[in-house]
Amino acid sequence: MNVKQLFDLSDRVAIVTGGYTGIGKQMAEALAEAGANVVICARNLDGCIKTAEEISKNTGVKTLALRCDVSSEEEVKGLVSSVLAEFGRIDILVNNAGIAMGGLPEDTELKDWESVLRINLTGTFLCCREIGKVMIKAKGGKIINLASIMGFGTTEVVSAPAYVTTKGGIIALTRELGVRWIRHNINVNAIAPGWFPTHMTDPVLNPDKMGKGEDLLHSIPARRFGGEDDLKGVTVLLASRASDYMVGQVIVVDGGALARY
């Protein structure tokens, strides 16, 4: 099999949670550009519809926009049913949906802690579990979980205890599922992005808000934040046959920030 065939995603069906904006949109675009039909789901249905229409127009693949709160077991099961009804299969899952709340540990309220864990960690587990069942029956699939460099270690510049905890948990979950499910020909791996300008990171990077961008930039050897194409290659790698021998791995895309330590 040549390299083009290894990375070809033609006729595959991919679900990207939280895929209507930010790095989720970038990853959805990458999958579509490689030939996959893409399902965009999030709590913001209007945003999903807009992004799905844009991707379909630009790439020619089939797209579907669905509302889904990944922290709801019922809604995740409904997502699976809707995708199967539309496409009859699910080949790729990208668990990108997530939220972040900053603040010192001693000031973090229980409701905020539980909200972040419910969406980031429980949501990732629920999507893996329900779509994993489909992939087990199909005898194959690709799951990409979104971790973060903050899942490996924190920074003095930004405090977000719940977020950091969920990303460390996602790394552990990725390894657990990777080992358990490779026997079913399901590859479970993760991507750990560094700092990418998005709606989620805007409160930190924006000079008019926390304004920590300059401090964080000095910690990145590449001397820039992640760009609009920097996650595309690794996304297609982990979604394609090119990663068939990769199990429970976490690929860091951070401009060298972690390599300094």
Give tens-digit pLDDT for 200-247: 888 888 776 666 778 888 889 999 999 999 999 999 999 999 999 999
Q: How confident is the model at residue 27 (pLDDT cuts 50, 70, 90)?
A: very high
Q: Do the beta carbons of residue 113 and residue 163 sit within 8 Å?
A: no
Upper half-sphere CA count for residue 27 (Cβ side, 13 Å): 34
Mean pLDDT of 165-190: 98
Active site residues: 163
Strands 92-95 and 63-67: unpaired
Mean pLDDT of 143-151: 97
User: What are the tens digits of pLDDT across the range 80-138?
Assistant: 999 999 999 999 999 999 999 988 999 999 999 999 999 999 999 999 999 999 999 99
Whether 24 has a pLDDT exceeding 80, the answer reads yes
Q: What angle do CA 116, 117, 123 make, to 5 degrees?
A: 100
Long-range pairs for 83-87: beta carbons < 8 A, 24 or more residues apart: 83/13, 83/15, 83/39, 84/134, 86/39, 87/13, 87/37, 87/39, 87/62
Could you tell me which residues come within 8 angstroms of residue 88 by beta carbon, excluding any fewer than 6 positions away?
Answer: none
Share of the chain above pLDDT 90, in %: 86
Domain 3-260 has CATH 3.40.50.720: yes
Mean pLDDT of 30-42: 98
Whether 57 has a pLDDT exceeding 80, the answer reads yes
Give the single-character DSSP code of 97.
Answer: -
Cα separation, 174 vs 165, whole angstroms: 14
Cα separation, 1 vs 42, whole angstroms: 36
So what's the pLDDT on residue 94? 98
Domain ranges of the chain: 3-260
So what's the pLDDT on residue 211? 66
Of 34, 47, 27, 180, give the one whose Cα is nearest residue 93: 27
| Mean pLDDT of the residues in the chain | 95
So what's the pLDDT on residue 26? 98
Torsion angle of the four alpha carbons 214, 215, 216, 217, in this order, in degrees rounded to the nearest 10: 50
Cα separation, 127 vs 17, whole angstroms: 9
User: What are the tens digits of pLDDT across the range 182-204?
Assistant: 999 999 999 999 999 988 888 88
